[in-house]
């Protein structure tokens, strides 16, 4: 009887498992956001004393239209433009981080994390995305003479999603690349002057809307192509699952949430890997320190963009953590590549824009993405819902946040 009472008393003093999960997730997510925030402060300080060496952003588009070297740099910069970084150096370190993760995972290293959702398709994902990006630049790069153009959009939608749905092989790789370049870039060129500009919205709204509509068109076309067959998911190659169940520890929750925030920085590339994310963050940081007038369109706002991105991911991971349980997923990355950085740029990096954009994006984007994706048939990739959510949440958040003092 006394032993039973002691056990009951001890159990009563411990918080329920759900509360422990919530506390661990919050500590891990906001802890990682704080680390990125401290890093951003350091970048801000270093940027004020930058040696100002190397290229700058102004004039880069026009130069890319006539110089092979500048065009190559633009092509590489397109790989990080979805993150609002636009840096060739950051792209090289991003690819290096992903390659390191691929190498380590092949050798069974646990610290490598999962890459491209543990499918083993990362080389094909990268090949198809890069080919689609090259086709976009070849077809529309001549327009850079008039200034910035959305040549980057195919890199993060149709092509990699096609590989994940239809599997590896050159037929899938080339088909996804061609369909992506043929649909998304022209749509973005059409929607920027007809949707974003008349509504006073940033071009990111048109870009992600083009990704969504272009993906719908591409996957509908894929239905009638006889050489494409939907891939059976490899149940043996599961991505790293979030903690769930009564046997998970507090530290596991902390660790998972911190890594989840990092993953969100490369989720849009279909990499979703911590090493790749650390690579792109370090790469763009070096580019910023060398010359703050190159990354993020020469705005000098990279440190604030970085913090807003980490914060919006952390808030989203905490808010929607239940969707991640038991092998689930949530589009907490959606605001990282849309609402949060767009608001920072729109309002010149005011603290209202940094905090407000992070909160608004985390609250709006994941549930909208989940609702739209739930209505899609299995042969239409959820990237359609995710990118549509980016467009809708950015279009909704910017006017509202514009009413606040900046």
pLDDT digits (tens, 9 = 90+) for 218-242: 999 999 999 999 987 654 444 444 4
Average pLDDT for residues 174-201, to the nearest whole number?
Answer: 98
CA nearest 57: which of 290, 360, 371? 290
Q: Is residue 117 part of a domain?
A: yes
Q: Where in the sequence is the domain holding 216, given as residue range(s)? A: 21-302
Amino acid 16: pLDDT = 61
pLDDT for 252 beyond 50:
yes
374 falls within a domain: no
pLDDT digit string (tens) for 353-399? Answer: 999 999 999 999 999 999 999 999 999 999 999 999 999 999 999 99
Instruction: Determine how many CB atoms are found less than 10 A away from the CB of residue 57.
Output: 19
- Does residue 391 form part of some domain? no
Within-domain flag for 270: yes
Residue 243's pLDDT band (cuts 50, 70, 90): very low
CATH code at 124?
A: 1.10.3430
Closest C-alpha among 268, 302, 283 to residue 389: 268
Q: Total structural domains in the chain?
A: 1
Is residue 286 a part of any domain in this protein? yes
For residue 312, is it within any domain?
no
DSSP three-state, residue 163: helix
Residues whose CB is less than 8 angstroms from the CB of residue 247 and which lie 6 or more positions away in sequence, other chains included: none
Give pTM, 2 decimals. 0.93
Closest CA to 389 of 325, 316, 295: 316
């Amino acid at each position: 009887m006394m032993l039973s009472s002691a056990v009951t008393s001890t159990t009563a003093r411990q918080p329920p498992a759900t509360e422990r999960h919530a506390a661990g997730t919050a500590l891990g997510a906001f802890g990682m956001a704080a680390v990125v925030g401290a890093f951003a402060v350091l970048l801000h300080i270093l940027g004020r004393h930058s040696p100002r060496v190397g290229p700058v952003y102004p004039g880069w588009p026009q130069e890319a239209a006539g110089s092979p070297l500048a065009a190559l740099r633009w092509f590489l910069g397109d790989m990080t433009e979805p993150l609002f970084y636009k840096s060739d150096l950051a792209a090289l370190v991003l690819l290096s981080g992903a390659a390191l993760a691929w190498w380590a995972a092949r050798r069974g290293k646990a610290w490598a994390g999962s890459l491209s959702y543990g499918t083993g398709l990362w080389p094909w994902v990268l090949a198809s995305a890069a080919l689609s990006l090259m086709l976009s630049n070849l077809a529309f790069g001549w327009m850079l003479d008039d200034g910035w153009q959305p040549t980057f959009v195919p890199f993060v939608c149709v092509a990699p999603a096609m590989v994940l749905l239809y599997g590896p092989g050159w037929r899938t790789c080339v088909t996804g690349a061609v369909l992506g370049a043929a649909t998304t870039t022209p749509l973005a060129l059409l929607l920027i002057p007809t949707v974003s500009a008349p509504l006073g919205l940033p071009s990111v709204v048109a870009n992600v809307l083009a990704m969504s509509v272009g993906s719908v068109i591409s996957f509908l076309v894929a239905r009638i192509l006889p050489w494409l067959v939907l891939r059976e998911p490899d149940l043996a190659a599961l991505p790293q699952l979030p903690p769930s169940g009564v046997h998970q520890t507090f530290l596991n929750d902390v660790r998972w949430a911190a890594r989840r925030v990092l993953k969100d920085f490369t989720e849009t590339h279909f990499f979703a890997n911590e090493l790749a994310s650390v690579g792109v963050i370090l790469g763009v940081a070096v580019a910023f320190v060398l010359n703050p007038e190159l990354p993020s369109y020469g705005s000098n706002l990279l440190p604030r963009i970085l913090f807003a991105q980490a914060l919006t991911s952390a808030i989203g991971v905490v808010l929607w953590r239940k969707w991640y349980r038991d092998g689930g997923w949530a589009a907490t990355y959606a605001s990282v590549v849309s609402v949060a950085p767009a608001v920072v740029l729109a309002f010149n990096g005011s603290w209202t824009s940094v905090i407000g954009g992070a909160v608004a994006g985390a609250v709006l984007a994941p549930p909208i993405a989940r609702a739209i994706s739930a209505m899609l048939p299995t042969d239409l990739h959820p990237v359609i819902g995710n990118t549509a959510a980016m467009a809708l949440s950015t279009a909704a958040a910017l006017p509202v946040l514009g009413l606040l003092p900046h």
